[in-house]
Amino acid sequence: MAVVNSIEDLSEADKVLRDELYCIADAKLVLAGWYMMVLQNGRSIADFTSICAMMQGQYGHARALYQHLGRFGVTLDEVEWTRGAKDIRSPKLLDRPPQSWSDFVATIFMAEQAISTQLSAYRTSLADRTLARLADKILKESRFHLSYSVGWIKALRNDPSSAVDEDARRRLVEALDWWGELDQPDVVFASGYRDASDSDLRERFLKAVGETFDVPDGIAGHARSWQRSIRRNGAPGIPENLFEKIRFKNRELAMP
């Protein structure tokens, strides 16, 4: 596939693919920021180690996806420096800060599960073999992130008064905002980049969540103004104060 310098040169399918991969990469970028922000709240030395590892894992995956986006004209300069809070396309799920350790655990479970579900549909892509291999590698590495959150959920449930199930219910509604308006045409699926449609992936996600949490019937979020390019309802972008915390600083000191 040729590298292009301008979005205008892209086919319709590539434009939509570019948007979706940007959303997935940004989801990982902001999730990595979550691990960074919560690190010191860890509840054992092994949590400090694990959270550091998951942070690196997510940043590494984000970087690999951004590099892949290079073929659509995306540069690391744009990714790391020229964008502002309004340009970040992470899921709405990650906007609201965790309110407690159990809310944190419930949220990372939903986020890891949602991102992995979406990526799973690229694993068999014949249209882009490099992307397929990348998706497969990321999924394999994410397995331990899921064990971590599931292990914590089980531990927290040992306490009958734990709020983890309640937290998960609230976060599930926020997570479903990622698959907000399924009536819109799904060009990425139709053009063979993904092997499952967005509505199938939403079902796959709910099924995966259902193995750990009760999923109430008819949990659908309300699609009012969902935009596929950002996979969100409402205005684009993440809260300014979240962006300020996770953005990169001291540019002149970046290592080559």
Partner 1 sequence: MAQAALARETTEEATEVALQTRIKAGATLEDISEMTPRYRDVLVATMAIAADLEIMTLPLDYDAIAFAPSINDRIAVASALQDEMGHAQVMFRMLEDFGFDSYHQVFERDPKNFKTFFLLEFGNLSPIDVGLGHLVGDQAGYITTRDLEENCSFGPYSRSLRKVNFEENFHVKRGEYMIRHYMQQGPEMRKRVQDRMDFWFPLGAEWFGATDDVKSRTDQLHYKIRGSSNDQLRQIWLQRLVPFCEQVGLKVPAHFDSERGIYVLDYQMPILLNLETLKWDFRTVTWPEKLAQWKKGGPLKLPGLTRMQVELWGQDLW
Partner 2 sequence: MMKKVIDRQLELGGDKPEFYEVFARRDSAEPLTHIGSVEAPNAELAEARAWFVYDQHIWREMCIVPLSAIVTITERGSKSKVKVV
- Where do contacts with partner 1 occur on this chain (CB under 8 A)? 29, 32, 36-41, 44-46, 48-49, 52-53, 55-56, 59-60, 62-63, 66, 76, 79-80, 97-101, 103-104, 239, 241-242, 244-245, 248-256
Query: Residue 152 or residue 226: which is nearer to partner 1 going by CB?
Result: 152
Among 1, 46, 190, 219, binds partner 2 (CB under 8 A): 46
Query: Residue 77 or residue 214: which is nearer to partner 1 going by CB?
Result: 77
Q: How far apart are CA 178 and CA 119, in angstroms?
A: 13
Number of residues that bind partner 2 (CB under 8 A): 21
Interaction residues for partner 2, span 150-179 (CB under 8 A): 150-152, 154-156, 158-159
Q: Which of 68, 91, 82 is nearest to 17 (CA)?
A: 68
Angle at 180 between CA 175 and CA 183, to 5 degrees: 150
- DSSP code for 251: G
- The DSSP code sequence of 105-161 is HHHHHHHHHHHHHHHHTTTT-SS-HHHHHHHHHHHHHHHHHHHHHHHHHHHHHTSTT
Query: Residue 218 or residue 256: which is nearer to partner 1 going by CB?
Result: 256
Query: Residue 150 or residue 206: which is nearer to partner 2 going by CB?
Result: 150
Whether the CB-CB separation of 125 and 194 falls below 8 Å is answered with: yes
Smallest separation (angstroms) from partner 2 to the CB of 127: 30
Q: Which of 25, 54, 39 is nearest to 142 (CA)?
A: 54
Smallest separation (angstroms) from partner 1 to the CB of 195: 29
The answer to the question of residue 147 lying near partner 2 (CB under 8 A) is yes
Among 49, 184, 199, 225, binds partner 2 (CB under 8 A): 49
Radius of gyration of the chain, Cα coordinates, nearest whole angstrom: 18
Q: How far apart are CA 91 and CA 111, in angstroms?
A: 8
Q: How far apart are CA 236 and CA 240, in angstroms?
A: 12
From 48-56, 180-188, 226-234, 235-243, give the range in contact with partner 2 by CB under 8 A.
Answer: 48-56
| Partner whose footprint covers residue 154, from partner 1, partner 2, none (CB < 5 to 8 Å by kind) | partner 2
Among 53, 208, 223, 246, binds partner 2 (CB under 8 A): 53
Q: Is the dihedral of CA 213, 214, 217, 221 positive or negative?
A: negative
Query: Residue 133 or residue 143: which is nearer to partner 2 going by CB?
Result: 143
**Residue ranges that bind partner 2, judged by CB under 8 A:** 41, 43-44, 46, 49-50, 52-54, 144-145, 147-148, 150-152, 154-156, 158-159
